[in-house]
A and B are shown apart, each in its own frame.
Chain A
Amino acid sequence: MRGGQGAARAPVIQFTNCRILRGGALLREDLWVRGGRILDPEKLFFEERRVADEQRDCGGCILAPGFIDVQINGGFGVDFSQASEDVGSGVALVARRILSHGVTSFCPTLVTSPLEVYHKVLPQIPVKSGGPHGAGVLGVHLEGPFISREKRGAHPEAHLRSFEADAFQDVLATYGGLDNVRIVTLAPELGHSQEVIRALTALGICVSLGHSVADLGTAEEAVQSGATFITHLFNAMLPFHHRDPGIVGLLTSDRLPAGRHIFYGMIADGIHTNPAALRIAHRAHPKGLVLVTDAVPALGLGNGRHTLGQQEVEVDGLTAYVAGTNTLSGSIAPMDTCVRHFLQATGCSVESALEAASLHPAQLLGLEKRKGTLDFGADADFVVLDDSLHVRATYISGELVWQVEEARP
């Protein structure tokens, strides 16, 4: 339990001998935690006149805010879009396994599915705090079904939908309710989409543009209506064209609402986006880049052939193919691999790479006071990394929830 009256009596833990990511820089500072939150040690010293109850030596490692994955379709054999009786345990399995990738919060993602799936699955994925049981669920990301036929990618054509006259009611009827929903990806060129975007934004749901053939003008209008995210930039949208940049043009558009900028997801697994394209996007708009895995159920299954639902998938290193073919079958790079690859491909600073996986997704979801930072008062969700950004340990609410094997006694 975070905060609350008991917090003042909770033990104070001081993580020493580390570099922490704070204010966009890696500082040689200690991290103080109490009651599951980051504590201001100066205030503790001068006002409460207390010192730490426990000190933990971090061996010179980097302490970064826990990674936040806003687009993950499943993993370890679990498919979130499958209407099973016990969706909860599937989500829990993934939540627990991604701790080793440094992910402390995530948005389980559902691809385009029939109504029955939404009605059955959505109520079984409540928002949940993280802990030793697994990463926290921030809410569901609904990718579809209101997307473009032409750019559906791997989404099943039969279940695509467009908005009827009473568009928002149609949305509610399709999903069966928006209680646990955090992000909705839709194509803004669909009729009535602007009013849907406004309605969803008014409910506090993040609207993302993706799987779309929209031109830049339509995309800008969508942003003015409230859209704040682009789903996996470059994939499933019109390619950049110099006379009509399409959705990609939002990165440098001057017609966005004042004081706001667009966020965009990128799959930096080294396979789904050419590193040069990654660099172009990053250089054009570094503050909006959000690293996502867009991982499929084959994530974490190891090399070889696996049966996932109706599909046979062949995993080879970081690539998943439809078995027996050369067709990519979704991404399976864990988040920490994406962070490392992003760092190496763009040549950006370590701080930028870490922020792309933590601060930016938190800002996208309006959670930056509590998540994605190590500022005083934020939730103590953080990851211990060595200099090559490999995860050594993961903490949620100041509690150790995962650590690398050899560290165990």
Chain B
Amino acid sequence: MRRIRWTRRGLLCAGVYIRVLRLRATRAGWGRSGLLGVGCFSCSSVGRASGSTGLNLSWKLCVTIMRLVILDNYDLASEWAAKYICNRIIQFRPGQDRYFTLGLPTGSTPLGCYKKLIEYHKNGDLSFKYVKTFNMDEYVGLPRNHPESYHSYMWNNFFKHIDIDPNNAHILDGNATDLQAECDAFEKKIKEAGGIDLFVGGIGPDGHIAFNEPGSSLVSRTRLKTLAMDTILANAKYFDGDLSKVPTMALTVGVGTVMDAREVMILITGAHKAFALYKAIEEGVNHMWTVSAFQQHPRTIFVCDEDATLELRVKTVKYFKGLMHVHNKLVDPLYSMKEGN
């Protein structure tokens, strides 16, 4: 673990002065100029681990990190994301009294990431025994065992392949008699679990996070949402292309709920998401593109493939590609629970 040291010139960590970073943080927003790319990446992976509390707190206030990690293709992006999650869980050293809390998405984007996580589990490198998960959303009115429900998705694509305790896998119940009470209970469960350590999410073509459709409040909490037409159209492919079969309402975590997480990772792959990514990080914070809210989150990583960057400025893409050697230090070495750390 790296240490943060006071020196004459300021806070020093891994050779980068935090004060410098802080100045940058206050001056620039996200977007073209601002980025706080370099430095202290390995510190940030310490998370809630030991270190002087005061120092850590100020560290968090000082250093906000947005990383745009660009991989060549979908498979590499999925693998990078999975490795990052794996390392975060292992370095956290979860145990009987300390569970790692993970927020999870559904949809086609994270499938590759889930496959890799399952692979690490099957190899014995990663256990989910002390991991609690909270899914972002679930359709309303769809039977739990419907093949397109998010319960089915999570079971088939993730839970059935790993060793998570079923009591620790939380998904909103879209068939609850009192939907708002269900949402409130979900928020309470997150709170009782100590908050989310890492919330993994995707982005809709309309820039939404979870089912926080354009126009959603950026401080919203878990609630019932009516789906936008864009979302219904995007989901039709899972219902035999029949729009009438697609659920029109869903329970979803709010933008505020995800913002409360200690770290957020957004997976964005494919050219059809490129415009949404542009709106999310190169334009301002805007409730019509709810993912843009994460410009104001202390620790966000956007993991993309080349195609998803097609609408970004060349300058942005070149800058972040140039940082890949730093980004890759987060996933290399890839830790393993086998080594007993």
For A41, the chain B residues whose CB sits under 8 A away are 155, 160
Q: Give, as a whole number of angstroms, the nearest-CB distance from B147 to chain A.
A: 10
Chain A residue nearest to B165 in the complex (CB): A51
Residues A46 and B155 in contact, CB atoms below 8 Å apart: yes
| Residues on A with beta carbons closer than 8 Å to the beta carbon of B171 | 46
Interface of B is mostly: helix
A243 at the interface (CB under 8 A from B): no
Closest residue of chain A to B144, judged by CB? Answer: A46
Residues of B within 8 A of A44 (CB): 166
Is A133 engaged at the interface, CB distance under 8 Å to the other chain? no
- Could you tell me the distance between the alpha carbons of A93 and B26 in the complex, rounded to whole angstroms? 86
Residues of chain A within 8 A (CB-CB) of B151 are: 42, 46
Q: Which residue of B lies closest to A376 (CB)?
A: B145
- Is A45 a contact partner of B159 (Cβ separation < 8 A)? yes
Q: Can you name the residue of chain B whose Cβ is closest to the Cβ of A30?
A: B160
Q: Evaluate contact between B160 and A50: CB separation under 8 angstroms.
A: no
CB distance from B285 to the nearest CB of A (A): 37
Considering the chains assembled together, what is the distance between the CA atoms of A280 and B166 in angstroms?
Answer: 51
The reply to whether B166 and A51 form a contact with Cβ atoms under 8 Å apart is yes
**Known contacts A49-B167, A50-B166: does B160 contact A43 (CB below 8 Å)?**
no
Is the C-beta of B152 less than 8 angstroms from some C-beta in chain A?
A: yes
Closest Cβ of chain A to B151, distance in Å, is 6
Within 8 A of A (CB), among B138-168: 144-145, 151-152, 155-156, 159-160, 163, 165-167
Range of interface residues on B (Cβ < 8 Å): 10 to 19
Is B227 in the interface zone, CB < 8 Å from A?
Answer: no
Instruction: Report Cα–Cα, A42/B151, bound state, in Å.
Output: 9
CB pair A42–B167 under 8 Å, yes or no, is no
Which residues from A are CB-within-8-Å of B331? none
A41 and B160 alpha carbons, distance in the complex (Å): 8
B11 in the interface (beta carbon within 8 A): no
Distance from B108 Cβ to chain A, minimum over Cβ atoms (Å): 20
A379 → chain B closest CB, angstroms: 21
Q: Which residue of A lies closest to B159 (CB)?
A: A45
- Report the Cα distance A245→B163, complex, angstroms: 59
Are B167 and A45 in contact, CB atoms less than 8 angstroms apart?
A: no
Q: Are A46 and B166 in contact (CB under 8 A)?
A: yes
Task: Let me know if A45 and B165 touch, CB within 8 A.
Answer: no
Cβ of A42 and Cβ of B166 under 8 Å apart?
no
Chain B residue at minimum C-beta to C-beta distance from A51: B166
B145–A43 CB distance below 8 A: yes
The answer to whether B169 and A45 have CB atoms under 8 Å apart is yes
Kindly state the separation between the CA atoms of A28 and B171 in the bound complex, as whole angstroms: 26
Residues B155-212 near A (CB distance < 8 A): 155-156, 159-160, 163, 165-167, 169, 171
> How close is B122's CB to chain A, nearest CB, in angstroms?
11
CB distance from B336 to the nearest CB of A (A): 22
Q: Which residues of A contact B156 (CB under 8 A)?
A: 42
A45 touches B145 (CB 8 A): no
In Å, the complex CA distance between A45 and B171 comes to: 12
Contact indicator A42/B169 (Cβ below 8 Å): no
Residues of A within 8 A of B169 (CB): 45
The answer to whether A42 and B165 have CB atoms under 8 Å apart is no
Query: Once bound together, how far apart are the Cα atoms of A42 and B187, in whole Å?
Result: 24
User: A46: which B residues are within 8 A, CB to CB?
Assistant: 144, 151, 155, 166, 171
Which residues of the other chain, A, contact B152 by a CB distance below 8 angstroms? 42
CB closest chain-B residue, reference A43: B145
A48 to B, closest residue via Cβ:
B166
How far is it, in angstroms, between the C-alpha of A45 and the C-alpha of B156 when the chains are bound? 11
- Bound complex: CA of A43 vs CA of B165, how far in Å? 14
How distant is the Cα of A40 from the Cα of B160 in the complex, in angstroms? Answer: 12
Q: Is the pair B145, A49 in contact by a Cβ cutoff of 8 Å? A: no
Chain A residues with CB under 8 A of B159: 45
Q: How far is the CB of A136 from chain B (nearest CB, A)?
A: 30
Instruction: Using known A-B contacts A51-B165, A51-B166, determine if residue A45 contacts B160 with beta carbons closer than 8 Å.
Output: yes
- Chain A proximity mask over B109-134: 1 for CB below 8 Å, otherwise 0: 00000000000000000000000000
Closest chain B CB from A54 CB (angstroms): 15
A49 to B151 alpha-carbon distance, docked (Å): 13
Instruction: With both chains docked as a complex, state the minimum distance between the C-beta of A159 and any C-beta of chain B, in angstroms.
Output: 55
Q: How far is the CB of A39 from chain B (nearest CB, A)?
A: 13
In chain A, residues 4-63, which have Cβ atoms closer than 8 Å to a Cβ of chain B?
Answer: 30, 40-46, 48-51
**CA A338 to CA B144, docked complex, whole Å:** 42
Residues on the B chain within 8 Å of A51, using CB? 163, 165-166
Min C-beta distance of A82 to chain B, whole Å = 51
Nearest-CB distance from A376 to chain B (Å)? Answer: 10
Residue of A nearest to B156 (CB): A42
A45 proximity list for chain B (CB < 8 A): 155, 159-160, 166, 169
A42 to B155, CA, bound (A): 6
Contacts of A49 on B, CB cut-off 8 Å? 166-167
In the assembled complex, the Cα of A392 lies from the Cα of B269 at a distance in Å of 46
B167: chain A residues within 8 A (beta carbon): 49
Task: Give the CA-CA distance A30 to B144 in the complex, in Å.
Answer: 20
- The smallest beta-carbon distance between A43 and chain B, in angstroms, is 7
Quick one: CB contact mask for A307-329 with B, threshold 8 Å, 1 for yes?
00000000000000000000000
Cα-based distance from A123 to B155 in the complex (angstroms): 50
Smallest CB separation, B146 vs chain A (Å): 11
Residues of B within 8 A of A50 (CB): 166
| Most chain B beta carbons < 10 A, residue from A41, A44, A48, A51 | A51
Given contacts A43-B145, A46-B144, 13 further A-B contacts (CB under 8 A): A30-B160, A41-B155, A41-B160, A42-B145, A42-B151, A42-B156, A42-B160, A45-B155, A45-B166, A46-B151, A49-B166, A51-B163, A51-B165
Q: 13 interchain pairs (CB within 8 A)?
A: A40-B145, A41-B160, A44-B166, A45-B155, A45-B159, A45-B160, A45-B169, A46-B144, A46-B151, A46-B155, A46-B171, A48-B166, A51-B163
Give B residues with C-beta under 8 Å from A.
Answer: 144-145, 151-152, 155-156, 159-160, 163, 165-167, 169, 171
Lowest 4 CB-CB distances: which A-B pairs, in order? A49-B166, A42-B155, A45-B166, A49-B167
